[in-house]
Amino acid sequence: MSQKDIEVISTIVSVTVAETIKQLDGRMTNIEQKIEERKALLPAPEIAPRDRINMIIRDYAERNRMPFAAAYSELYKIFNYTYGCNVNASAKHRGVAIIEYIESEGLIENLESVAVSRFSPRMA
């Protein structure tokens, strides 16, 4: 092979590689756009039970013109009666916040159900 043949082959290879990279880049851009479009179609993530409880109690306190802490106290009182326990004393004994105690005991969904059933506005 002559030097000229090598240069011609080298040029052909470099053009081919450049075109292939350009096509791959276009494909990757298209794939990335499709992924972003699909993300927009996904349902919103679920609200964590603790956040949902907070939203319900905040709304309840506002509707009843009462302090936020008083609404939470009422929630815990009803929870204690409903489940036959005393989360206030248990949390105090452990030196943690009541909601943290409830979460650590795996009872957050129970507290959420009390909040939903007793503190959410009734549907008309």
> Which sequence spans correspond to the domains of the chain?
1-42, 49-119
SS3 95: coil
- Pull the structure tokens for residue 89: 């004393």
Q: How far apart are CA 23 and CA 68, in angstroms?
A: 59
Nearest to 81 by CA among 106, 118, 32, 52: 118
pLDDT band, very low/low/confident/very high, at 124 (cuts 50, 70, 90): very low
Do 122 and 62 touch, CB atoms closer than 8 A? no
pLDDT at 123: 46
Using one digit for the tens of pLDDT, what is the confidence trace for 41-78? 777 778 999 999 999 999 999 999 999 999 999 999 99
